[in-house]
Amino acid sequence: MDYETLQDCFLGVFEHYKTEERRTFVMGKLRNDFKSFISFLYENSRNAEWHISYNGLGFDSQVTQYCLDKALTLAHMSGEEIAGEIYAFAQSVIDRASVGAPSHYMPWKLSIKQLDVFKLNHWDNPAKSSSLKWIQYSMDWQNVMEMPIHHTESIDTQDKLDTVITYCINDVISTKRIMQLSKSQINLRSELTKEYNIDLYNASEPRISKELFAQFLSKELGQPVKEIKQGRTRRTVIKVNDIILPYIKFTTPTFQDLLKKFRTVTINPENTKGSFKYSVVFHDVKTDFGLGGVHGANKSGIYQKKDGMIIMSSDVTSFYPNLAIRNKWSPGHIDKDRFCNLYEWFFDERKKIPKSNPLNYVYKIILNSTYGLSNDANSFLYDPEFTMRITINGQLSLMMLYEMICSEIPNCIPVMQNTDGLETMIPEQYAEKYMEICARWEKLTKLELEHEQYQKIVFADVNNYIAIFDYKETDLETWKKIRESSPDYLFKILNGKFLYAPTKCKGRFEYKDLALHKNKSKLVIPKALYQYFVHNKLPEDYLEENKNILDYCAGVKIKGTWQFIQKGLVDGVMTETELQKIVRYYISKSGVKLIKRNTQDGREIQAESGTTLVTLFNVIEEKNWNEYNVDKSYYLRQIEKEIANILKSETQLRLF
């Protein structure tokens, strides 16, 4: 369902979640459906029916409850008067939200239950912030349409009303699609709600973690959940020297200096951003440290298993949870033994449960979110010292392993070091030595490592790469199933053995199963790079094959004082047209310039630099491929630029 609240027109559109049955209600100058609308809402309430919406808890449910509460008064008004009353209330809802004030109606006061796909997908989180229009773009929705009529404009003609209805229907059916894509998440929340008698239908993953951990902790400590939720440990200062583990020691001057540097740090928990930055160069690789994690990377290039060298990848199993468990750490206001016993129970239980079981996913959420909640002042797990113990000792303990490998294995080549693991090229003859070093580190830290081998890493930087795992052996039937379900893997038959190699893409190279809040612009580029580096297909050949216009599309969005402007020639005259705040487009041989303009100071930024032209594509049009007039040379240049960045020379492009 969705509402549109204009100054003199109110519109509600509802569509059954299983069928195409649709109800449309209008209150305004041209129609007054208030009696049938309020009867429909009463029916929803009586039948315990739900409203499924995008940001319904924050807006639509508020309007619904207002209409139910004011039904007797509104029933005696004209359609235009009703619209005016609802409009005034809707503006107050928006105003309250803009300053972070509580809603007029909290969830438990609502007569009609809500399923809010915006909330449950955590798109209200600043890091994932996404409007319905952006999710429409991410879903390759047919029509990424913003309201074409301003909310203060009078809806005084049937054409205008039809425009608003069409717009609202588009939002409703796209919300329905999001609901369908979120089905497994909805089912999970339904089961958890029934199991633990907590309303988790609209809960984000961090909130699920918080609520369930509180329940389990309540039983462990014998305290009421309400009492546990009041707990916090607030600190004014954290001296890093006091929290470094006693086994953290180094043998090389480089890392000894790093440890000394950490020991001098004093942290203000209320302002940690940028308070510690430090870098070291070890084995010609620069590694950067902060309070939150470590990142190190060798030069961009292709690192390949050949000439007696192998690529080892080692990650710490559930690194952050196990640092707490093995070292008996807990937030200061929670008993260490009971906290760690419970934390370890989640870890052990998860290992027993198949990944196909939703409970495995729930325990994963709890294990991973608990660390983050310790740095959230609104969480009962809040203790910034607990957070710093994990992140700082995590970096230093991982660097101990890094130092041991590089110091004890001749001719090793570090590739990258990240928050919970590292990748290193070593001579194959030292494979046993590598595992022996890792075993010593595991014994010292009481942590566990998971090992993989790669046959190749196509490496731009620590956040952007393609990794191809070493071949794994399986039986013929499994080999066939994997080949059918994962055609991008590498497959071969060697000496009667059936082998397959999975791949992993990160950052700019990701193109499959992207989360809907992420920007999937110009997917044809990472797809072409994958084909080139994994399957040795030349970019121009791949572009010739790929005729999915949506792979060539980009999405851009603006906020605040910026607006999009389309500049182009019409009958030989340069014209400008203001566009909506989210634009889908592709690069074309002819078209328009897409400009971001600041309405306050007049600054202009081109969406695509230079002479590049674009075709706007907010509404998908089915055409013969050549009619799209795609500028393939633009995409080819971008692909070859990325390849050249990795191979270091344009001349290598044809030689790889």
Q: What pLDDT digit, counting tens, does each position of 571-589 carry?
A: 778 899 999 999 999 999 9
Structure tokens at 236: 């004014």
Structure tokens at 138: 């991410």
The predicted structure's pLDDT at residue 275: 75
Q: What angle do CA 600, 603, 607 make, to 5 degrees?
A: 125
Residues in the chain: 656
Cα(39)–Cα(75) distance, rounded to whole angstroms? Answer: 11
Distances (CA, A) of 144 to 85, 171, 487, 543, 585: 30, 9, 31, 26, 11
Mean pLDDT estimate for the chain: 94
**pLDDT grade for 276, boundaries at 50, 70 and 90:** confident
The predicted structure's pLDDT at residue 177: 98
Report if pTM > 0.85. yes
The predicted structure's pLDDT at residue 71: 97
At residue 645, the 3 state secondary structure works out as helix
The predicted structure's pLDDT at residue 356: 83
Residue closest to 389 by CA, chosen among 540, 307, 269:
269
* Secondary structure letter of residue 590 according to DSSP: S
Distances (CA, A) of 167 to 4, 172, 304, 552, 617: 9, 9, 53, 26, 17
pLDDT of 653 higher than 60 = no
At residue 549, the 3 state secondary structure works out as helix
CB neighbourhood size of 204 (10 A): 19
Residue carrying the six token digits 């309070």: 291
Average pLDDT over residues 117-123: 96
Average pLDDT over residues 558-580: 90
Cα(134)–Cα(518) distance, rounded to whole angstroms? Answer: 9
Give DSSP secondary structure letters for 287-301: EEE-SS-EEEE--SE
The predicted structure's pLDDT at residue 652: 43
Average pLDDT over residues 162-170: 97
The predicted structure's pLDDT at residue 645: 92
pLDDT of 116 higher than 70 = yes
The predicted structure's pLDDT at residue 655: 40
pLDDT tens, position by position, 470-516: 999 999 999 999 988 887 889 999 989 999 999 999 999 999 989 99
Average pLDDT over residues 550-574: 91
Lowest mean pLDDT among 196-200, 431-435, 488-492, 636-640: 488-492
The predicted structure's pLDDT at residue 14: 98
Average pLDDT over residues 556-566: 94
The predicted structure's pLDDT at residue 656: 42
The predicted structure's pLDDT at residue 651: 41
Q: With contact defined as beta carbons under 8 Å apart, do 339 and 390 qualify? A: no
**pLDDT grade for 384, boundaries at 50, 70 and 90:** very high
Distances (CA, A) of 110 to 69, 88, 453, 567: 10, 20, 54, 47
The predicted structure's pLDDT at residue 654: 43
φ/ψ (deg, to 5) at 490: -95, 140
pLDDT of 629 higher than 60 = yes
Lowest mean pLDDT among 217-231, 287-301, 482-496: 482-496
Q: With contact defined as beta carbons under 8 Å apart, do 288 and 295 qualify? A: yes
Strands 472-474 and 421-427: unpaired
The predicted structure's pLDDT at residue 602: 92
